[in-house]
């Protein structure tokens, strides 16, 4: 017998399964008889399983969706996590990522014709560990303006290493410029720390920082900021929030703890105030100008012989009037208005110093000049005194009259009037006295020799 098969496909109607008709023709070779038969097969479509691997951060949740195909082949039944899974009519499932790769549930779909389909490979959830973050303060979180507190952020994980960590800080929700794990907070705000590992971020709890403003303070005088002798100045500190006061002059503590200070000494003054929050602030300095400097220096001894002199010098920066006592009163010396004055006559001298910016005038202490020694040869022409060499280097010789044969006292003064050398009860040999003064500095000195109730003075120079 001979078998001949044929297949005919019938296009289905819309949303219907396909139909295939299989026919066979059987022929008896010997007799030539034939017979035929056919059968129809209906093909119902299998559902499709649309699941793909997912990526996310630990703790993140995601819906995984799958579609069974055309609604016409429904209704569909979804069995997640088979075998043993509970059939569901939902085409999605909510999954949570862990810190590493985990395998998701299997999926089996059954369509309305009873056809089943399964996912061909296990669904994988690629999770990355999310940092566990905390924040702490390394000091008080309430302080005064100008201070700061260091905030420290920490990122850890109980079971996995954290890779590619990055950090950020927020204040009241706004990102700050710092990207380190620590942050120096200098302003009031609510701060949070954010750590990210491989793009998986976590935010800490918050820390509130409070910065209290400094108190304001100004200092003003009750009148002018300058004074003369006997005319003090009162300084007043004004601060709306101060609860305590401290005064300083030229950086040193002075005065009491109230908001006013009576000043009778020149200098730069500040008021230091403290408020109820413990915040401290210093005022801008205010300079109090006192009387002018009335100190006077002398160029040498105030007692000298006729023909000698002494120069007085006052402090710089003022106007001057030199005066000499006459008949009980100090009278202006004509044209003596410079910083220095040279006195050549016996008397008491003062300088009146005026600060032109304040108008304050004060006088110096009196300087008494005595011109009372008699030079050798003034009344006794036969006296013959010589000093040589002059100038000298280390030694000089005094040649005295024969009459000066008793013990002799020799003294040397520098230009400030200080005694720098003295020789008492010296005895002449051949009416000459050699003196070695190599230890003295180069300069000008006043030589005084006393003997026989006479005294001799001469300016000598060592070089």
Q: What are phi and psi of 73, to 5 degrees?
A: -95, 5
- DSSP single-letter state for residue 256: -
Q: What are phi and psi of 273, to 5 degrees?
A: -120, 155
Report how far residue 375's alpha carbon sits from residue 406's, in angstroms, rounded to the nearest whole number.
18
Is 182 or 382 the better-scoring residue by pLDDT? 182
Which residues are within 8 A (CB) of 395 and not within 5 positions of it... i.e. 6 or more apart? 434, 435, 436, 437, 438
Q: Other C-beta atoms within 10 Å of 463: how many?
A: 8
Strand partners, 461: 444
Is 385 or 3 the better-scoring residue by pLDDT? 3
Structural tokens at position 324: 């000499």
pLDDT grade for 246, boundaries at 50, 70 and 90:
very high
> pLDDT digit string (tens) for 331-389?
999 999 999 999 998 899 999 999 998 888 999 999 988 886 554 444 343 456 788 89
Percent of the chain with pLDDT over 70: 87
Report how far residue 251's alpha carbon sits from residue 216's, in angstroms, rounded to the nearest whole number.
19
| Residue 362 Ramachandran class (φ > 0 left, ψ -120 to 50 alpha, else beta) | beta
Structural tokens at position 227: 């004074």
* Structural domains in the chain plus CATH codes: 2-43 (no CATH), 54-128 (2.60.40.10), 132-212 (2.60.40.10), 218-288 (2.60.40.10), 296-371 (2.60.40), 386-462 (2.60.40.1930)
> pLDDT digit string (tens) for 258-294?
999 999 888 999 999 999 999 999 999 999 988 899 9
pLDDT of residue 84: 57
- Residue (of 287, 292, 290) closest to 235 by Cα position: 287
Neighbour-count burial of 37, counting CB atoms closer than 10 A to its CB (0-12 exposed, 13-18 middle, 19+ buried): exposed
Q: What are phi and psi of 123, to 5 degrees?
A: -70, 135
- Are 288 and 225 in contact by the 8 Å Cβ rule? The answer is yes
pLDDT grade for 10, boundaries at 50, 70 and 90:
low
Mean pLDDT of the chain: 86
Percent of the chain with pLDDT over 90: 49
pLDDT of residue 232: 86
- 427-442 burial, b for 16+ CB within 10 Å, e for fewer? ebeeeebebebeeeee
Q: What Rg value do the Cα atoms of the chain yield, rounded?
A: 58
- Are 294 and 353 in contact by the 8 Å Cβ rule? The answer is yes
Which stretch of 46-60, 204-218, 267-281 has the lowest confidence by average pLDDT? 46-60
pLDDT of residue 376: 46
Mean pLDDT highest for which of 186-200, 402-416, 424-438? 186-200
Report how far residue 228's alpha carbon sits from residue 288's, in angstroms, rounded to the nearest whole number.
11
pLDDT of residue 378: 43
Report how far residue 85's alpha carbon sits from residue 363's, in angstroms, rounded to the nearest whole number.
114
Look at residue 411 and give its three-state secondary structure. strand
> pLDDT digit string (tens) for 83-140?
555 667 777 878 888 898 877 777 778 877 777 877 756 678 889 999 999 999 999 9
Mean pLDDT of 151-161: 96
């Amino acid at each position: 017998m001979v078998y001949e098969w044929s297949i005919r496909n019938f296009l289905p109607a819309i949303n219907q399964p396909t139909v295939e008709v299989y026919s066979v023709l059987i022929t008896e070779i010997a007799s030539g008889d034939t017979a035929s038969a056919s059968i129809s097969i209906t093909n119902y479509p299998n559902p499709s399983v649309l699941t793909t691997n997912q990526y996310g951060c630990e703790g993140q949740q995601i819906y995984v969706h799958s579609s069974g195909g055309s609604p016409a082949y429904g209704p569909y039944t979804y069995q997640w996590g088979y075998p043993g899974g509970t059939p569901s009519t939902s085409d999605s499932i909510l999954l949570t990522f862990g810190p590493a790769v985990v395998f998701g549930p299997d999926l089996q779909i059954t369509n309305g014709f009873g056809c089943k389909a399964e996912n061909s490979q296990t669904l994988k959830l690629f999770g990355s560990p999310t940092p566990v973050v905390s924040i702490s303060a390394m000091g008080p979180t309430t302080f005064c303006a100008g201070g700061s507190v260091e905030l420290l952020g920490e990122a850890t994980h109980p079971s996995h290493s954290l890779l590619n960590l990055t950090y950020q800080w927020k204040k009241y929700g706004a990102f700050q410029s710092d990207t380190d794990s620590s942050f120096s907070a200098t302003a009031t705000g609510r701060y949070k720390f954010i750590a990210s590992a491989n793009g998986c971020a976590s935010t800490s709890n918050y820390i509130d920082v409070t910065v209290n403003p400094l108190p304001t303070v100004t200092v003003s005088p009750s009148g002018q900021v300058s004074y003369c002798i006997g005319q003090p100045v009162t300084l007043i500190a004004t601060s709306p929030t101060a609860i305590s006061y401290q005064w300083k002059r030229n950086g040193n503590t002075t005065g009491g703890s109230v908001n006013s200070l009576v000043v009778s000494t020149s200098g730069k003054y500040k008021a230091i105030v403290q408020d109820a929050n413990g915040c401290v602030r210093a005022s801008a300095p205010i300079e109090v100008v006192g009387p002018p400097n009335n100190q006077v220096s002398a160029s040498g001894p105030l007692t000298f012989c006729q023909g000698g002199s002494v120069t007085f010098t006052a402090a710089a920066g003022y106007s001057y009037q030199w005066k000499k006592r006459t008949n009980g009163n100090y009278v202006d010396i004509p044209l003596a208005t410079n910083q220095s004055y040279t006195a050549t006559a016996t008397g008491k001298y003062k300088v009146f110093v005026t600060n032109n910016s304040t108008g304050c005038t004060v006088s110096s202490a009196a300087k008494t000049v005595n011109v009372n020694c008699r030079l050798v040869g003034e009344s006794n022409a036969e006296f013959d005194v010589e000093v040589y060499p002059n100038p000298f280097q280390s030694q000089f010789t005094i040649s005295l009259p024969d009459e000066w044969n008793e013990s002799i006292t020799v003294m040397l003064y520098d230009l400030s009037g200080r005694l720098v050398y003295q020789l008492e009860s010296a005895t002449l040999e051949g009416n000459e006295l050699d003196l070695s003064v190599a230890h003295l500095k180069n300069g000008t000195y006043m030589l005084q020799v006393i003997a026989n109730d006479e005294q001799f003075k001469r300016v000598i120079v060592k070089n």
